[in-house]
Amino acid sequence: MSLHTRRGIEETGEDVDEREAARRQLQARRDFISHLVAYVVVNGFLVGVWAFTGAGYFWPAWVIGGWGVGLLMHVWDVFLRRPVTEADIDAELNRHR
């Protein structure tokens, strides 16, 4: 039994789940690239303002550092964290028994 047909190939529920997981991962990577571009553009602008206004105390470091922590957490979420598997769920259930 299939849930629906795509390009003449029948997909099972498992295939649909895998496609959805792949779609979510691709979207997460695209969202990260947008976040990275915003980080570079905004912080480049702030460094430019700092340089243009006399280049005294490097105050953009506060924004660069704070936002950088958020960016690193986004890296971890998109590229380093592994998805929850059925084995993980089974192990957690067994731990509670």
5-17 residue pLDDT tens: 445 555 566 778 8
The domain in which residue 66 lies consists of 11-86
Reported confidence tier of residue 46, pLDDT bands at 50, 70, 90 = very high
Residue 64 near residue 74, CB atoms below 8 Å: no
Does residue 20 sit within a domain? Answer: yes
Does residue 6 sit within a domain? Answer: no
Does residue 5 sit within a domain? Answer: no
- Counting the structural domains of the chain, the total is 1
Phi, psi dihedrals of residue 11, rounded to the nearest 5°: -115, 135
pTM: 0.73
Does residue 23 sit within a domain? Answer: yes
Question: Three-state secondary structure along the chain?
Answer: CCCEEECCEEECHHHHHHHHHHHHHHHHHHHHHHHHHHHHHHHHHHHHHHHHCCCCCCCHHHHHHHHHHHHHHHHHHHHHCCCCCHHHHHHHHHHHC
